[in-house]
């Protein structure tokens, strides 16, 4: 079973935060590909999807952990063990401050790079899962990161945010069949954005 997990914090207070990019992606995927309503299970909100690919339909289980961001791995691990999936069958969608706003990268394995949700997931299932890293930008100062990721997107961000979320959904069939390189390329083709250094961009905006 393919598992698609989004990182974020539960509740309306956090729903528009930069840290909830993973939830935003999962909601959009469920709207397009979902075949069941969201329900509570595995310490999260879950639903099922049928992703149409060139070779048929790939079944996927979607989960938005309700354990809060830093403990996301508990819910993801529980779902993975239930379906007897492997880490390579898990794609975690999350915000990435080390990518400029609107940029996107797929990565398999590696460290957490300071992301506590990724660290929690690694602690539960190992590091061989696939990461869908969604660029949120950097505030330019490490001391400002916590407040930055827990702040809402601005209206001006919709210029890149809406097309990026749509591209993540449109190109998903490539990821569903395991072609992460093609998935990344297609997302960036559908929602092109500047390859700016997120720290420099933040500093120039001050």
**Which positions are catalytic?**
19
SS (H, E, C) 19-42: HHHHHHHHHHHHHHHECCCCEEEC
Q: Are 21 and 95 in contact (CB under 8 A)?
A: yes
Residue ranges of alpha helices (H) inside 96-139 are 116-125
Residue ranges of alpha helices (H) inside the chain are 21-33, 72-83, 116-125, 145-149, 158-170, 172-176, 180-190, 198-205
Which residues have a Cβ under 8 Å from the Cβ of 11 and sit 6 or more positions away?
Answer: none
| DSSP bridge pairs for 56 | 53
- Report the chain's C-alpha Rg in angstroms: 16
Q: How far is CA 180 from the centre of its chain?
A: 14
Quickly count: other Cβ atoms within 10 Å of residue 99's Cβ. 21
- Evaluated on CA atoms 10, 13, 17, 21, the torsion sign reads positive
């Amino acid at each position: 079973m393919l598992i698609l997990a989004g990182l974020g914090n539960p509740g309306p207070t956090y729903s528009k935060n930069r840290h909830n990019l993973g939830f935003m992606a999962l909601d959009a995927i469920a709207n397009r590909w979902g075949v069941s309503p969201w329900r509570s299970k595995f310490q999260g909100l879950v639903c099922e999807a049928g992703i149409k690919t060139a070779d048929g339909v790939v079944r996927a289980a979607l989960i938005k952990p309700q354990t809060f961001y830093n403990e996301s791995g508990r819910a993801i691990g529980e779902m993975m063990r239930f379906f007897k999936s492997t880490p390579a069958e898990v794609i975690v969608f999350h915000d990435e401050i080390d990518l400029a706003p609107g940029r996107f990268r797929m990565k398999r394995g590696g460290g957490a790079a300071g992301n506590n949700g990724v660290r929690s997931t690694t602690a539960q299932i190992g590091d061989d899962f696939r990461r869908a890293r969604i660029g949120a930008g950097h505030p330019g100062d490490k001391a400002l990161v916590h407040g930055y990721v827990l702040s809402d997107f601005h209206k001006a961000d919709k210029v890149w945010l809406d097309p990026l979320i749509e591209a993540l959904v449109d190109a998903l069939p490539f990821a569903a069949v395991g072609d992460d390189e093609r998935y990344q390329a297609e997302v960036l083709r559908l929602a092109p954005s500047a390859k700016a250094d997120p720290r420099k961009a933040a500093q120039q905006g001050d």
